[in-house]
Amino acid sequence: MKSLLKLIRAWRSRRQQRWLERWEQTRTEGKAQFIVRTALTNALTVVGVTHVYHYVFYGPTPIPVVHLIFYVLFGIGIGSDGWSTRERKYQNALREARAKALPANRDSLNVFNMRSK
């Protein structure tokens, strides 16, 4: 059982490391590109799925441009929120990695630039 838990922890650690590496690459591309890509992906997916649904159940109908514009704008909000969430997760992972790398005697170091009381 312990070996299984060890295996699962190792897998999670590798998965987390791969996520961090991918996010670093995405960060270098920029926030604007991430948000635009997310907005377009969201809009085209939702409009495409709803169009197929309407086509199957109601027959051929044109795609309303208003829906596409609405979902692009909605996707901008989703992309912005996604960027913030991923960035927060990335910064927390960096903080945890720095904390683990500190020496055992943390009391002698002013780790977080806090004033001693």
pLDDT surpassing 90 at residue 114: no
Domain count, the chain: 1
In a domain, 44, yes or no: yes
Distances (CA, A) of 71 to 37, 43, 97: 13, 5, 38
In a domain, 50, yes or no: yes
pLDDT tens digit sequence for 20-49? 999 999 999 999 999 999 999 999 999 999
In a domain, 63, yes or no: yes
- Enclosing domain of residue 75: 29-101
pLDDT surpassing 70 at residue 109: no
Tokens (6 digits) for 15: 């998965």
pLDDT tens digit sequence for 52-74? 999 999 998 888 899 999 999 99
pLDDT surpassing 50 at residue 117: no
